[in-house]
Chain A
Amino acid sequence: MTTTDTLTQADPARSGAKPMIELVGLTKRFPGTAEAAVDGLTLTVDEGEITVLVGPSGCGKTTSMELINRLIEPTSGRILIDGKDMTHTNPDELRRHIGYVIQETGLLPHRTIAQNVGTVPKLLGWDKARIAARVDELLEMVGMDPATYRGRYPKELSGGQRQRVGVARALAADPPVMLMDEPFGAIDPITRERLQNEFLRLQQQVRKTIIFVTHDIDEALKMGDRIAVLRNQSHIAQYDTPENLLTSPADDYVSDFIGTGASLKRLNLSRVRDIEMATDAPTASVSAPVAEVRAALLASSWTSLLLLDAAGRPARWVTSRDLARADQGAVLAEVGLPVEAIVEPHATLADALDELIASNVGCTVVVDGSGAYQGIVDLETIMTVVRTVRDEYERFHLAQKLAQQPADGQAR
């Protein structure tokens, strides 16, 4: 208990930010159970941040979430949202202002996608035209064509699409606070990855205060501005930034939970936009004359050249041998290799590395939101980041140890 308190309070990084969700000693004891499902959960989430609750199955994550929007009434403790005590307000009213993505998506099967997404606006009494416009906007936002999907029923969607609709539905009334309970749970890793990335991009626009539940530490590291590692009964083992969690786990429980490969996991924390990518790669338009393309390739130190389409999107990798084939009449747009490894700037280095390893050319192309070429990440870039990060952390730890030693000595 005491560690929890000191961890949440004595945290210099959070000073200045405005607390949006404050949980104070939140406790739930289900009738007829020996121990509380959630015991004295105290946690502060700052405005515009994603806090991830991560812990093993049954540790009380869902219960904690449902306590916050009062689907479960707390046995004791308080919930403050934006400084206001919500513990005794009308729960239905409260919930209309907290977006909730439930663990199993929970779309209403007898309602169309548009009706599902428009549920809360309708409860809030918006007029039809406003709801319709908002629904289309949200479907667009989560990457689903409104014209195609608005009239469908949930059973006519794939699992990943349903999860998107679940997220869109939670965003519908533009609530300042969102609770997301394993929103990308039961889907395949590739789709999951994509949804995570899309969601992070979305969050950059909407800047919601979010509590995000997962039992997957990698997802936690990727999504969280702050992570609360939970033990049984929602006891907080450590509440910290992803970096600190990886570099200085509070105890064995936390380091066990993080598991092996902490340094590899750190790649999850750096994003492509934060590093220096290579921008000197030769590029040319697919419609350019072959001679011009060859000149560009020869002028560079690279062995391949990236062809871009009319919109500036990466089209193909070509080598001088491919260009020779183009000389003999092959169409430029069909020689060389297709560009397979593509990431956006908010992707993590782990994503970029993953793409890189799987790609045919050994480097990953970075594109902006519209798919236009930005730069290149190759193994060299990634290794540089890993090395500097490691050096920095080592220096930081050394400094900490040195600083602690005299203090320990005095205490004895």
Chain B
Amino acid sequence: MADTALATRATGASDRAVPRRGGSRLSWFGMPVLLAVILGATYLWVGSLELDTIERRTLNAEQLTRSTLEHLHMTAVSTAIVIVLAIPLGVLLSRPFARPVVPAVLGVANIGQGVPSFGLITIVILWTSLGFWPMIIGLVACSMLPILRNTMVGLEQVDRTAVKASRGMGMSPLQVLLRVELPLAFPVMIAGIRTALIINVGTATLGTFFGQGGLGFIVYNGITLNRTPVLITGVVLVSALALLVDYLAGALGRLLAPRGL
């Protein structure tokens, strides 16, 4: 019950600032500078250490690049799929004829959000097999809700009078959707996409437990081998990646947001 109540609130719509064009220079350049400083400092710190062979097996350019790329791959594919699935589904569910099924669909999507990601991916993999695509299915299930919910809330909060005026001027329902409703819902929808992206970057860390590598591999190595530099490098890379991806999504949202809102 609590979950359904939650489902009506747009993720990030209120607490994550809706993207705006312009903004101060700090908001545009603050994050890249911060990330560069953190990564540079970590690099210098690790470089100043005497690494043993175990550490060197993980902390080398090739391994770090491979893990980062694996991580990005999982994130990108899962996010792309979840966008392609959740936005049309959200649009469909926001049409009047779909009203009766909305609670059921949101309930299912809530499971993805509510069940711990590790458990969810395990269930998917038990159902299917170990592999890249089962991992992606798990990620998609975990990040479905924010986009779905924000698409619905975004469309719902579109000014009814704008819609009615558009219909009154002779736009077809499809034209109203494409030219009026989606542009006006965009800021809320992009907030949902950012949230999904963050979830996917974070959850992809679990990929290592299912043979998919990613930056989780570095972190996990750091823990099991009891090597702090490895652990810290992994954690810094994951965090930096998450922040960078969120920053890029935010910037993109600002640039694409319709003016005049």
Partner of B167, one of A71, A97, A120, A154: A71
Q: Beyond A108-B165, A110-B260, A112-B260, list 20 extra A-B contacts (CB 8 Å).
A: A71-B164, A92-B170, A92-B172, A95-B167, A102-B164, A106-B159, A106-B168, A108-B162, A108-B166, A108-B180, A109-B162, A109-B260, A109-B261, A110-B184, A110-B258, A110-B259, A111-B260, A123-B170, A155-B260, A156-B260
Give A156 Cβ to nearest chain B Cβ, in Å: 8
Give bound CA distance, A96 to B259, whole Å.
Answer: 26
> CA separation between A112 and B169, bound complex, in Å?
16
Closest to B166 in A: A108
Which residues of chain A have C-beta atoms less than 8 A from B261's C-beta? 109-110, 155
CB 8 Å contact bits of B169-193 with A (1 = contact, 0 = none) = 1111001000010011000000000
Chain B residues near A153: list those with CB within 8 A: 259-260
B259-A102 in contact (CB<8A)? no
Given the known interface contacts A108-B180, A109-B162, the answer about A71 and B259 at a Cβ–Cβ threshold of 8 Å is: no
Contact with B along A65-109 (1 / 0, CB 8 A): 010010100000000000000000000111111001011111111
Confirm or deny: B53 has a beta carbon within 8 angstroms of a beta carbon on chain A.
no
CA distance A301 to B260 in the complex (A): 59
**A119 is an interface residue with CB less than 8 A from chain B:** yes
Q: Which residues of A contact B165 (CB under 8 A)?
A: 100, 102, 105-108
How many whole Å from B208's CB to the nearest CB in chain A?
44
26 A-B residue pairs with Cβ-Cβ distance under 8 Å, sorted by A, are A71-B164, A92-B172, A95-B167, A95-B169, A97-B170, A100-B169, A102-B161, A102-B164, A102-B168, A104-B161, A106-B159, A107-B162, A107-B165, A108-B162, A108-B165, A108-B166, A109-B159, A109-B162, A110-B259, A111-B260, A119-B166, A119-B169, A119-B171, A123-B171, A123-B175, A153-B260
Query: Which chain A residues numbered 119 to 157 have a C-beta less than 8 Å away from chain B?
Result: 119-120, 123, 153-156
Query: Does the CB pair A93–B170 fall under 8 Å?
Result: yes
Is B171 a contact partner of A92 (Cβ separation < 8 A)?
A: yes
Give the interface of B toward A (CB within 8 A).
159, 161-162, 164-172, 175, 180, 183-184, 258-261
Q: What's the nearest-Cβ distance from chain B to residue A66, in Å?
A: 8
Which residues of A pack against B, CB within 8 Å? 66, 69, 71, 92-97, 100, 102-112, 119-120, 123, 153-156, 169
Cβ B168 vs Cβ A71 within 8 A: yes
Which 3 pairs, one residue from A and one from B, show the smallest C-beta to C-beta distance?
A: A106-B165, A153-B260, A96-B170
CB pair A100–B168 under 8 Å, yes or no, is yes
| A95 surroundings in chain B (CB, below 8 A) | 167-170
CA distance in complex: A58, B156 (Å): 25
Kindly state the separation between the CA atoms of A96 and B172 in the bound complex, as whole angstroms: 11
C-alpha gap A363/B167 in the complex (Å): 48
Residue numbers in A under 8 Å from B172 (CB-CB): 92
Q: How far is the CB of A19 from chain B (nearest CB, A)?
A: 23
CB distance from B171 to the nearest CB of A (A): 7
Please measure, in the bound complex, the distance between the C-alpha atom of A112 and the C-alpha atom of B167, giving whole angstroms: 18
Which residue from B161, B162, B170, B180 sits with its C-beta under 8 Å from A120?
A: B170
Indicate the member of B168, B169, B172, B260 with the most A CB atoms within 10 Å. B169
Q: How far is the CA of A102 from the CA of B183 in the complex (A)?
A: 21
Which of these, B161, B169, B180, contacts A96 with CB under 8 Å? B169
A205 CA to B170 CA, complexed, in Å: 25
Q: Return chain A residues, CB-CB under 8 Å to B167.
A: 71, 95
The distance in angstroms between the C-alpha atoms of A104 and B166, with both chains bound, is 13
Least Cβ–Cβ distance between B167 and chain A, in angstroms: 6
A124: nearest chain-B partner, CB-CB: B170
- B64 CB, min distance to chain A CBs, angstroms: 43
B169 surroundings in chain A (CB, below 8 A): 95-96, 100, 119-120, 123, 169
